[in-house]
Amino acid sequence: MPGREEGRRNLSEAAPRRVITAVAMSGILVMVFILLFLMKEGMPILRDASITELAAGRLWYPVSSPPLFGMMPLIAGSMAVTLVSSVLAIPFGVALALFLTEICPKRISGFFKITLEILGFLPSVVLGFIGMTVIAPYLQVRLELLSGLNLMNASMLLGVMILPTVATLSEESLHAVPQSQRDASYALGATRCETMFKVVLPGASRGIAQAAILGVMRSLGETMVVLMASGGAALLPESVFDPVRPLTSAVAAEMGETSVGSGHYHALFFMGCILLLFTLVLNVLVIKIESRREAN
């Protein structure tokens, strides 16, 4: 009976398809649960404090009575660390990418790429440790500071962390600039420097922007380095050598000490929501740039 045989085959076709599609959808489920549970645990803080108090309050004393949940110093800390590390690491990362595509002889470029990749594999807790034991004492003695654990220390280490991301992604987009454009530039008598900065870099600008945003995203969300090296003072920083307490480090440091369901607990989840919001916005930006690149 060919009909029945065919029916059985169709069934054995449909089953794996359904199972695989269902399992694959668990990714969507995870993402939805993350949004749901962070909101569920974070939003109750709005019963204790208004959104303006949270965002504009300058005092973070979550365990005093009455507790004060001003998150401005923490948000400012996150912004400051992200800004300084990006300013340090993004130009540096792009320079490395230029070196790898335009200058480095092919024979040894593999070695340097491996170096960058290994740098990217370094666990963040190891870099945080270096910040505590090597950079902090050095900064303290050299610049006569009260403490070497500060904004600058954390930003330098974060810079090291995001450097491989920025460099590798920029390198990919520089690589995608057609060789004919370089040839044309050289044929017009341009030097290598002029070709790099006036032809290759502008040609890869979208890809580099994307790499830079991904770097910013990583440095905003990085936890262990800022937890160990940023000093941990919930104050608005006035110089790059002031200690700060970014959102991620506040969550990591304080979550262990709160009781589930307290105002402090909900406030920490609310910070998680803020971080999530920032990263998702940056993510949308990356996707926008990417779709424009593909359209071109």
Q: Which of residues 140-179 bind other proteins (CB under 8 A)?
A: 160, 163
CA 61/CA 150 separation, integer angstroms: 20
User: Measured from the CB atom, is 58 or 290 closer to other proteins?
Assistant: 290
Stretch that binds other proteins, among 45-53, 60-68, 200-208, 215-223 (CB under 8 A): 215-223
Stretch that binds other proteins, among 48-56, 62-70, 135-143, 271-279 (CB under 8 A): 271-279
**What is the smallest separation between the CB atom of 136 and other proteins, expressed in angstroms?**
12
Please count the residues of this chain forming the interface with other proteins, following the rule CB under 8 A: 83
Contact indicator for 227, 253 with CB cutoff of 8 Å: yes
Q: Residue 244 has what DSSP assignment?
A: B
CA 211/CA 192 separation, integer angstroms: 23
Task: Please name the residue ranges forming H helices in the chain.
Answer: 2-24, 26-42, 45-48, 51-56, 72-98, 106-121, 124-130, 136-142, 151-175, 179-187, 192-195, 201-203, 205-221, 224-229, 247-254, 263-295
Stretch that binds other proteins, among 68-76, 174-182, 204-212, 219-227 (CB under 8 A): 219-227
Q: Does 118 bind other proteins (CB under 8 A)?
A: yes
**182 backbone φψ class: left, alpha, beta (φ>0; ψ -120 to 50):** alpha
When binding is defined by CB under 8 A, the residue of 174, 228, 234, 267 that contacts other proteins is: 228
User: Measured from the CB atom, is 96 or 151 closer to other proteins?
Assistant: 96
When binding is defined by CB under 8 A, the residue of 64, 106, 121, 291 that contacts other proteins is: 121
When binding is defined by CB under 8 A, the residue of 138, 287, 288, 292 that contacts other proteins is: 287
Contact indicator for 265, 42 with CB cutoff of 8 Å: no
When binding is defined by CB under 8 A, the residue of 252, 262, 289, 293 that contacts other proteins is: 252
Q: Does 285 bind other proteins (CB under 8 A)?
A: no
Q: Does 255 bind other proteins (CB under 8 A)?
A: yes
User: Measured from the CB atom, is 61 or 110 closer to other proteins?
Assistant: 110
Please return the burial class of 189, using the count of CB atoms within 10 Å of its CB with bins 0-12, 13-18 and 19+.
exposed
Taking the C-alpha atoms of 88, 152, 83 and 39 in order, what is their torsion angle to the nearest 10 degrees? Answer: 130
When binding is defined by CB under 8 A, the residue of 112, 145, 186, 209 that contacts other proteins is: 112
